[in-house]
Amino acid sequence: MTTNYIITELVALMTSPLRLQHQIIVEFINSMKLSLQVEIIHIDPVLDEQAWHLLTKRSDKEWSLVVMQKLGITESLTTDHHFEQAGFIRLLK
């Protein structure tokens, strides 16, 4: 599971600094969108506001992870230590 916000960030990363060719990026993102193993959650205005509210309440954090909390997800396939700070299980260490 990921969000359309993360897909947008991934495209930005692949464009610069990685400088991958446009066609490679398009093919990769299309394969994610068509994959039965990847669910893309689209952030709507309500969810966006919930994430913003949580972010503004915690001046010491630069993330909210509200989608995972809302869906009851406890594990994340990431190396990012912020997920553990938020109480999630980080599967890649």
pLDDT > 90 fraction of the chain, expressed in percent and rounded: 91
pLDDT digits (tens, 9 = 90+) for 59-70: 888 888 999 999
The DSSP secondary-structure symbol of 30 reads H
Question: ω before 17 within 30° of 0 (cis)?
Answer: yes
pLDDT classification of 80: cutoffs 50, 70, 90: very high
Mean per-residue pLDDT over the chain, rounded: 95
Domains in the chain: boundaries: 1-42, 43-93
